Amino acid sequence: MKRLEVHSLSVRHEGRTRVDDISLDIAGGTLFGLIGPNGAGKSSLLKAIAQLIPHSGDVVLDSYKLEKVSALWRARRLAYLAQSGEVAWPMNVQDFVMLGRLPHRRDSLSWSRRARQQTAQPNNDDEIVRQALEQTGLWNMSTRYLDQLSGGELARVRLARALAVDAGVLLADEPCASLDPFHQLKVMELLQMQSRQGRVVIVVLHDLTLASRFCDQLLLLHEGQVVANGTPRTVLTPDNLQQVYRVQAIHGEYRDQPYIVPWQSSTPEMPPVITAPASTPDLPKEITFK
């Protein structure tokens, strides 16, 4: 079982503290959500964990300090999905997702199909890539070129590339930002499944409904500092929402699971909590790609 530890991590940029002395202990099997308003430090924390920006403090994966190991060692064990990014390369979907296998190749540069056929190194790259494409509902468009895709389709392609790394730690920065509700749910179900397979999965979310529905643990940040760390039920309280987000929300439960729907910006004269009706209609049990 994987274990990721963060010890006294801080990030400073242009004279401002983006992340202030944060410590975490995340076990494999946990879907861990980073939440907070814009500028709270969520993306900075995720990038620091991935060793992509300068920081103080330590990040430890299975007793190895990530600051001390090689970039290749990290690339094989951490998959990072950035918040956004355009891809200008003339590549089709399958070849782009195959880039996720680069860290596992002996020469680490032979990503093309032709190069894979010419090498004698046994591998299961094609099967892993196929699985990533199927999990993200992209197998039927694997030969399409990236410049032919919509923003939401490209977001799923980038997620598939991260999945293709097959790493023990998956770091995803707002993977649902450009997706419709159906694909938001599918992506969160997929991330939840990845965590249930023993991985450490950390996801940055703005959607508190998705955060409360899927995450096992939430870290609420504000101005680089921890406001709350715990289960969705203990973190997404009316007081925390008022203090950090300045919103009021509908709170309720469905099948013994709490949910929250941000409802309106808060004002002094409005009550802080709106409670959902006790009865909730039945919902579909399963959603599948078509």
- pLDDT tens-digit map of 147-158: 899 999 999 999
- pLDDT tens-digit map of 169-211: 999 999 999 899 999 999 999 999 999 999 999 999 999 999 9
Q: Mean pLDDT lowest for which of 86-90, 235-239, 242-246?
A: 86-90
- pLDDT tens-digit map of 95-122: 999 999 999 986 554 444 554 454 444 4
Query: How far is it, in rounded angstroms, from Cα 15 to Cα 2?
Result: 35
Please give the backbone phi and psi of residue 55, each rounded to the nearest 5 degrees, phi first: -160, 165
| CA distances in angstroms from 19 to 9, 29, 44, 102, 126, listed in the order given | 7, 25, 7, 31, 39
Which domains, and CATH codes, for the chain?
Answer: 2-231 (3.40.50.300)
Contact assessment for residue 211 and residue 200, using Cβ atoms and an 8 Å cutoff: no
Question: Strands across the sheet with 200-204, in order?
Answer: 78-81, 169-173, 200-204, 31-35, 217-222, 225-230
pTM listed for this prediction: 0.87
Residue 46: CB atoms within 10 A of its CB come to 24
State the average pLDDT for the chain.
88
